[in-house]
Structure 1
Amino acid sequence: MSQPEAGSSACVGAVLSAPRTLAVVARELPPLGPRDVLVAVSRCGVCTGDVDAWLGRSALTEPEPLGHEPAGVVVAVGAEVTRVAVGERVACWVEEGGFADRVVTDEQHCFAVPETVAHPEMAEPLSCIVNAVELAAPALADDVVIVGAGFMGLLLQLVLQARGPRTVTVADVRPGALARAAALGATHTVDTSREDLRARVAEITGGRGADVAFEVTGSNIGLDLAAAATRMSGKLAVVGYHQGGTREIALGEWNWMAYTIVNAHFRDKQVILGGMRTALRLMEAGVVDVAPLISHRFALDRIDEAFATAAAKPDDFVKAVILTGDDERG
């Protein structure tokens, strides 16, 4: 896709106007302020939160530009920008509008990306996982359980494995997802449609239970399973996005078991940005390789197909990325 001129105030991007209705349209960008950066977007990840909006699970009062995981190349900067320069590859934090050929954002929300990092669009989702792991703080040689082997669960697995756990047990109901977890290094996998997770974790841990269990499903049953796997006085980290409705938990049992509940969601902008900085360092060092998790790629004009695929989650699906520029790194 060709890029507009650097001085243009318009972009071409995807806008959600109704459930399952995305249109790629021209729209105005905010003016470039003294500390703002104009980025020609090359790629943007498709987040589950975006898919929920596309499915109509979140309120939509007016057409909404989607996408918050963009990366690209700086094409213009404000007069006072010192953090990045024209021509640099960057990962960006934006609240919306990332599915576009260009975005404007504050220089503090841009991170220069080394040439060795092939997938800078993964900096934002990886930051969520980095912050979740740091908050839950699993110790060396802990037994950990991950309930949910989707993209975020597998990303969590990669980061946790760098922390030196004794065992990593991944639970899901999809054989393909569990096979991916095993290929990425999980010491044990449990198909909870056929096996009792509490019993399997007790067997794995010598009857003790998980020191830390991470729920990454966004579902009530995921919470129940994570709790069942956790030892007395262990930690239960809620990483799944529980959007809409309510959840029921066995609070009396949770109370009795003295779980430490970790709410691994972050709204503080500085925490998010700090996580992105760490995420890029992990990718640069090769500690975390996200490439095996990017299963689908779509051009911007196929974004409806991308969202339909992400919602359907076929057996080979993990993560979709929208490609809007000329970066051919994969």
Structure 2
Amino acid sequence: MKKALLTGERRFEIVDAPVPDVGPDEVLVRVAACGVCASELDMWSGVAGATFPMAPGHEATGTVEALGSEVVGLRVGEAVAVWVTTGGFGEFVAVKEAYCHPVGDIPLTLALGEPVACAVNAVDLARVRLGDEVLVVGGGFMGNLVQELVALSGASRVIVADTRQDALERARTLGADRVVDVTREPIVDVVSDLTGGKGVDISFEVTGVQQPLSWLGDVTRMSGKIAIAGYHQGPPRSLPLAQWNYMAFDIVNCHFREVSVINEGIARGMRLLSSGRLSMEPLVTHFFDLEDIDKAFQTLEDKPEGFVKANVLIGAAGER
């Protein structure tokens, strides 16, 4: 089978690899597509100090090719989103039955279960209440998902802040009550005016960069919540901890490592996508063949206008 290996900084190689063996409680999945996650960008660019070679790819979807002897809940040919930690940029993966989630009629190119689970679990952990006023800082792919899920949770006002005009326009299209271009408007003043001076009930940081951490305390009400959903790689970050202590914020780390929590999030995300209450169609914007995987990562780094999410199509299954 063909598989993409990251063999050096900014360099994938497509290699021949054996089709993985399937254990009794596992299924063999023919991969149709695998999303490119921003958390993998630092590996590709060398910032994260990756050890080469390595096989990234954890946002895989595909069809069941073969069943282990103990598998009873799936059938060959069934379309699934899967939980894998590596190897998603290859033609086949072997995963436990419990890590496969049927996607029904959702196109495999849009059934990216793992990132949807991240957003579902983040909003769930932050406990958005009916009538809450919420700020989402970051209008990229994950910020868009968080924004949609916050609205579904019953927030009375959703504010989205970003630096890019196309991201702000997309947030507006997705239903944001107010968008803020932080390069042109003072975010603290905007939020103060909108909330009568008290600040939002919950602020989601979904950028993974330093700057928002410096002013989240100025836009969140006393005893409100600051939810860190951005993935902060690279150098250490600085926090105005004295202010955060005084304001009695509830600091929510929206990252999960328990596989059971991730899989529950995928299952819930698939139900939201199947019901039409959540849509990935406007968010998965750029598609690449496996041979062009470096270009997919370069596009994620460059973020051209209109870019939200890159997806790598793998083999004929990626045409579904």
The normalised TM-score by structure 1 is: 0.94
2: CA distance, partners of 1:126 / 1:137: 17
Map 1:306-321 → 2, pairs under 5 A: 306-321=296-311
User: In structure 2, what is the equivalent of residue 8 of structure 1?
Assistant: none
**Local SS of the residue matching 1:281:** helix
Does the Cα contact within 8 Å between 1:237 and 1:263 map onto a contact in 2? yes
Change (3 A) 1:116 1:314: closer
User: In structure 2, what is the equivalent of residue 94 of structure 1?
Assistant: 84
Q: Deviations over 1:190-243 (max 9, x none)?
A: 111111111101111121210000000111112123322101110000000011
Does the Cα contact within 8 Å between 1:113 and 1:120 map onto a contact in 2? no
Does the Cα contact within 8 Å between 2:110 and 2:281 map onto a contact in 1? no
- Using the TM superposition, give the Cα deviation of residue 120 of structure 1 relative to its aligned residue in structure 2, in angstroms: 5.0
Q: 1:144 aligns with which of 131, 134, 139?
A: 134
- Using the TM superposition, give the Cα deviation of residue 16 of structure 1 relative to its aligned residue in structure 2, in angstroms: 0.3
1: CA distance, partners of 2:106 / 2:145: 19
- Using the TM superposition, give the Cα deviation of residue 52 of structure 1 relative to its aligned residue in structure 2, in angstroms: 1.7
Does the Cα contact within 8 Å between 1:142 and 1:211 map onto a contact in 2? yes
1: CA distance, partners of 2:262 / 2:73: 18
Q: 2:161 aligns with which of 148, 155, 171?
A: 171
User: In structure 2, what is the equivalent of residue 3 of structure 1?
Assistant: none
Q: Deviations over 1:276-299 (max 9, x none)?
A: 000000001111011100110011
User: In structure 1, what is the equivalent of residue 194 of structure 2?
Assistant: 204
Percent identity of equivalent pairs = 44
Does the Cα contact within 8 Å between 2:225 and 2:249 map onto a contact in 1? yes
The normalised TM-score by structure 2 is: 0.97
Q: Tell me whether 1:280 sits opposite 2:273 in the alignment.
A: no
Does the Cα contact within 8 Å between 1:42 and 1:326 map onto a contact in 2? yes
User: In structure 2, what is the equivalent of residue 108 of structure 1?
Assistant: 98
RMSD: 1.4
Q: 1:238 aligns with which of 204, 207, 228?
A: 228
Does the Cα contact within 8 Å between 1:43 and 1:121 map onto a contact in 2? no
User: In structure 1, what is the equivalent of residue 292 of structure 2?
Assistant: 302
2: CA distance, partners of 1:200 / 1:126: 29
> Which letter maps to 2:234?
G
Does the Cα contact within 8 Å between 1:148 and 1:222 map onto a contact in 2? no
Change (3 A) 1:120 1:181: closer
2: CA distance, partners of 1:96 / 1:68: 6
Q: 2:241 aligns with which of 237, 243, 251?
A: 251
Change (3 A) 1:329 1:293: farther
- Using the TM superposition, give the Cα deviation of residue 184 of structure 1 relative to its aligned residue in structure 2, in angstroms: 0.7
1: CA distance, partners of 2:233 / 2:163: 21
Does the Cα contact within 8 Å between 1:90 and 1:111 map onto a contact in 2? yes
User: In structure 2, what is the equivalent of residue 77 of structure 1?
Assistant: 67
2: CA distance, partners of 1:260 / 1:84: 41
**Local SS of the residue matching 1:81:** coil
2: CA distance, partners of 1:249 / 1:142: 25
Does the Cα contact within 8 Å between 1:16 and 1:64 map onto a contact in 2? yes
Q: Where do 5+ consecutive residues of structure 1 fail to align?
A: 1-10
Q: Where do 5+ consecutive residues of structure 2 fail to align?
A: none
**Local SS of the residue matching 2:316:** coil
Q: Tell me whether 1:293 sits opposite 2:283 in the alignment.
A: yes
**Local SS of the residue matching 2:73:** coil
> Which letter maps to 2:49?
A
Q: Deviations over 1:10-53 (max 9, x none)?
A: x2111001110101111234421111111111111110012221
- Using the TM superposition, give the Cα deviation of residue 244 of structure 1 relative to its aligned residue in structure 2, in angstroms: 2.2
Change (3 A) 1:220 1:249: same
> Which letter maps to 1:43?
A
Q: Deviations over 1:249-295 (max 9, x none)?
A: 11111111110000000011100001000000000111101110011
User: In structure 2, what is the equivalent of residue 221 of structure 1?
Assistant: 211
Map 1:6-155 → 2, pairs under 5 A: 11-116=1-106, 119=109, 121-155=111-145
- The size of the alignment, in residue pairs, is 320
User: In structure 1, what is the equivalent of residue 179 of structure 2?
Assistant: 189
Does the Cα contact within 8 Å between 1:218 and 1:243 map onto a contact in 2? yes
Does the Cα contact within 8 Å between 1:119 and 1:290 map onto a contact in 2? no
Does the Cα contact within 8 Å between 2:168 and 2:180 map onto a contact in 1? yes
- Using the TM superposition, give the Cα deviation of residue 82 of structure 1 relative to its aligned residue in structure 2, in angstroms: 1.3
Change (3 A) 1:119 1:141: farther
**Local SS of the residue matching 1:94:** coil
